[in-house]
Amino acid sequence: MIEVLFMALAALIALTLQTTSFGFMIRAAYKPELIMILVIWASLRITFLPGVGFAFAAGIVVDTLSGSPPGLFAVIYSAALVACGYFNATFDIDSQPGRAMTIFVATLASGFLVMLTRWLEGPVEFGWLAVKFILLKSLVTGATALVVIPVLDRLWAGFSRLAGVR
């Protein structure tokens, strides 16, 4: 329950930033996917059930606050959490570069899935500029993770000590 509260607060802050400040600071299209960073962080730090529940719920919220078809990000984030958990158990990716690379790949995959759904819905040009857009956005998200994940770790450490989570 404490984990869920922490994740809900983090998601609320991330969504507020994502829908407001980032658009003012950098070119809106390339703003980092903070929720994806949170999902990957949850897969490494939070127990499985609250983690996957969070990924699904966060996806539904992002679907509502984005132009995506309902359910798309719920599937993407749930799949990302499960895949990241598996890769961490198999290859131990929980290091600073490993986490950034995982988030880069997860954002890249989600970008191509978004483009695929767009392409299925109607005529969308999918040339080099679209690929460049996905690559840049993934790079920005991966680089942001290098800063955000240590901050999340510190916050989680303080929060868990305060709330008595093991």
Partner 1 sequence: MPKSVRDIAIVFILLGAGLIILFSSDKKPDSSTAGRIIYTVLKPFQEVVFAVHSRVGNVWQTYIDLVGVQEESAALKEEIRRLRREKAVLLDKEDENRRLKKLLNLKTRHELPSLVAQILGEDAAGWYHTFFINRGSDDGVVPGTAVTASEGVVGKVIRGSSDMSQVLLLTDPNISVDCRVARTRDRGILTGSLERGCVLRHISLKSDVKPGDEVVTSGLDGIFPRGLTVGRVVKVRKGDQGLFLEAQVSPAVDFSEIEEVLVVLGQKGGFDVQPGLEERR
Scanning 38-46, 87-95, 113-121, 158-166 for contacts with partner 1 by CB under 8 A, the matching segment is: 113-121
In the set 2, 96, 97, 126, which binds partner 1 (CB under 8 A)? 126
CA proximity to 103, closest of 89, 88, 119, 118? 88
**Site membership for partner 1, residue 111 (CB under 8 A):** yes
**Site membership for partner 1, residue 101 (CB under 8 A):** no
In the set 1, 89, 92, 129, which binds partner 1 (CB under 8 A)? 129
Scanning 70-78, 97-105, 144-152, 153-161 for contacts with partner 1 by CB under 8 A, the matching segment is: 70-78
Contact 160, 2 (CB under 8 A): yes
- One-letter amino acid of 95: S
Which CB, 27 or 154, lies closer to partner 1? 27
Phi and psi torsions of 111, nearest 5°: -60, -45
Binding letters toward partner 1, positions 15-44, x by CB under 8 A = xxxxxxxxxx--xxxxx-x-x---------
CB 153, min distance to partner 1, A: 24
Residues binding partner 1: what is the number (CB under 8 A)?
58
- Footprint of partner 1 on 49-68 (CB under 8 A): 49, 52-53, 56, 59-62, 64-68
Give whole-number Cα distances, 70 to 60, 64, 67, 110, in Å: 7, 7, 9, 15
Question: Following DSSP, what letter does each residue of 124-139 receive, concatenated?
Answer: ---SHHHHHHHHHHHH
Using a 10 angstrom Cβ sphere, with 0-12 exposed, 13-18 middle and 19 or more buried, the burial of residue 142 is buried
Contacts within 8 Å (CB) and 24+ apart, 95-98: 96/146, 96/149, 96/150
Residues at the site binding partner 1, with contacts judged by CB under 8 A: 12, 15-24, 27-31, 33, 35, 48-49, 52-53, 56, 59-62, 64-75, 78-79, 82, 110-111, 114-115, 118, 121-127, 129-130, 133, 137
